[in-house]
């Protein structure tokens, strides 16, 4: 399984699905739940500057997720999204239960670790970064 084609193919699938998850969450914050409701949720959770934070989170997830899908500045974007998720962990999920169904932190931790995989292993050759680095 340690063949470059297999490794790059799986990095593509991994990165694309991870990016689509972030696009979906950003899209939801902007167009379904809405910034007003997201701001209210952030305010209730004690997130500082809830309106600004809601805009930052929504745009970072939407644009950053899209950049992960195509593999553009993927390690930088993944590090930024990991930092965003670390903030979500600290402000929203710290001290809560484990399970996401109860408002727990398991999902956020999985996202952080997945993003760190992109930071450590890169986006692979099947990405814009991979094409530009050749």
Residue 107 pLDDT greater than 80, yes or no: yes
Average pLDDT of every residue of the chain? 94
- Smallest CA-to-CA distance from 129 within 42, 82, 70, 80 is with 70
Segment 49-55 mean pLDDT: 97
Q: How confident is the model at residue 35 (pLDDT cuts 50, 70, 90)?
A: very high
Query: Among the residues of 46-133, which ranges form H helices?
Result: 50-70, 74-88, 106-121, 128-132
Question: Which one has a higher pLDDT value, 105 or 55?
Answer: 55
Residue 67 pLDDT greater than 80, yes or no: yes
Segment 94-106 mean pLDDT: 82
**What global pTM score does this model have?**
0.93
């Amino acid at each position: 399984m340690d063949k470059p084609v297999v490794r790059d193919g799986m990095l593509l699938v991994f990165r694309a699905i991870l990016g689509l998850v972030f696009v979906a969450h950003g899209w939801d914050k902007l167009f379904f739940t809405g910034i007003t409701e997201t701001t209210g949720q952030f305010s209730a959770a004690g997130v500082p500057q809830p309106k600004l934070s809601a805009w930052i989170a929504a745009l970072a997830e939407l644009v950053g997720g899209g950049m992960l899908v195509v593999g553009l500045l993927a390690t930088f974007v993944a590090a930024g999204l990991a930092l965003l998720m670390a903030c979500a962990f600290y402000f929203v999920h710290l001290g809560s239960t484990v399970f996401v169904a109860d408002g727990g932190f398991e999902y956020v931790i999985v996202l952080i670790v997945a993003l760190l995989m992109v930071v450590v292993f890169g986006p692979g050759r099947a990405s814009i970064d991979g094409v530009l680095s050749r």
